[in-house]
């Protein structure tokens, strides 16, 4: 068991952390503007990656519907539990705990780990999971983040400005209707999408390099338990209820076990929803996930 766990960690999880580590070292060696890189990812990289994934997907409608239900269930339940465990916090900090509990790192960690562990077929399903998750993050996530310091009407308006929403809708429509994208435009999107994952990993390292952890932020352990412990169990339960099995079950449980995403820090910073608390949640959950994700991989493969 221990030998298998170490092998899984070295072959699957460690390469992802090596790239994030490079970003960490670079940020320590020279001044880097993480917020600018975060905005490039938010407005260009992530929408391009989501569009490319959905435009090229080749899975049945049944599988797509099952993944949609599982992702939606995991997202809403973890978010609701995060909101409940933050009842004793201020409004911005409660929003921060909700975001940290619900927004998982299905892009820059989930995709490469799924590829290394489950191959190309697993990567296809993982990209669909990521696209659905990104859609929820940029609707529900933006709404919650901005509601921490803004009126609900303004928060809803902010969520509708997220470009990944329209990238998701466009990718699904063009895929299902088999409408071709002109080559020059697709190649531009493809280049940007290819850069998105390494940019996300580098940003993860940059964010970790400047993330403090103080006595006041120990509350992040609430979101860490939800994100790394409760979330994969919810995914498993939903798979059993919906009859999801095989590779699809492996992918959704693996993706549900990912730590809090860097984009959660981007959202909380953009909308002043206790960004230092969310950054601490990203730091702690990411470090702990080196063990928990490896354990999940051993159990599902």
The pLDDT of residue 212: 67
What pLDDT shows up at residue 2? 77
Decide which of 3.40.50.2300, 1.20.1530.20, 1.10.490.10, 3.90.550.10 is the CATH code for 32-300: 1.20.1530.20
Domain residue spans in the chain? 32-300
- Residue 264 is predicted with a pLDDT of 84
Task: Give the residues across from 260 on adjacent strands.
Answer: 104
Which residue is listed with tokens 């959202």?
267
pLDDT one-digit tens code per residue, 115-163: 889 988 888 889 889 888 988 887 788 777 776 555 556 656 666 777 8
Q: Give the per-residue pLDDT at 156.
A: 61
Looking at residue 243, what is its pLDDT? 92
Residues 247 and 128: beta-carbon distance below 8 Å: no
How many degrees, rounded to 5, is the angle at CA 124 between CA 257 and CA 233?
Answer: 20
Low-confidence residues of the chain: pLDDT under 70: 1, 147-159, 212-216
Residue 288 has a pLDDT of 94
């Amino acid at each position: 068991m221990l030998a298998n766990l170490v092998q899984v960690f070295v072959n699957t999880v460690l390469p992802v952390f090596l790239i994030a580590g490079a970003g960490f070292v670079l940020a320590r060696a020279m001044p880097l503007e993480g917020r600018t890189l975060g905005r490039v990812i938010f407005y260009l990289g992530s929408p391009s990656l989501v569009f490319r994934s959905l435009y090229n997907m080749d899975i049945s409608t049944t599988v797509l519907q099952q993944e949609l239900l599982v992702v939606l269930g995991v997202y809403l339940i973890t978010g609701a539990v995060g909101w409940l465990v933050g009842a004793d916090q201020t409004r911005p900090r409660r929003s921060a705990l909700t975001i940290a509990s619900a927004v998982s790192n299905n892009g820059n960690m989930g995709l490469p780990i799924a590829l290394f562990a489950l191959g190309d077929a697993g990567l296809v399903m993982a990209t669909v999971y990521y696209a659905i998750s990104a859609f929820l993050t940029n609707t529900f996530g933006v709404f919650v983040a901005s509601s921490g310091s803004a009126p609900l009407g303004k928060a809803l308006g902010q969520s509708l400005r997220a470009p990944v929403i329209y990238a998701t809708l466009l990718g699904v429509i063009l895929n299902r209707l088999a409408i071709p994208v002109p080559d020059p435009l697709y190649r531009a999107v493809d280049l940007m999408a290819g850069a998105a994952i390494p940019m996300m990993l580098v940003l993860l390292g940059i964010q970790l390099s400047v993330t403090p952890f103080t006595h006041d932020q120990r509350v992040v352990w609430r979101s860490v338990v939800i994100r790394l412990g409760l979330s994969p169990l919810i995914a498993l339960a939903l798979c059993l209820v919906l009859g999801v099995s095989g590779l699809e079950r492996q992918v959704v449980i693996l993706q549900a076990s990912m730590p809090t995403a860097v984009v959660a820090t981007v959202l909380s910073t953009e909308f002043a929803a206790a960004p230092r608390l969310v950054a601490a949640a990203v730091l702690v959950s990411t470090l702990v996930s080196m063990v928990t994700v490896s354990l999940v991989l051993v159990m599902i493969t």
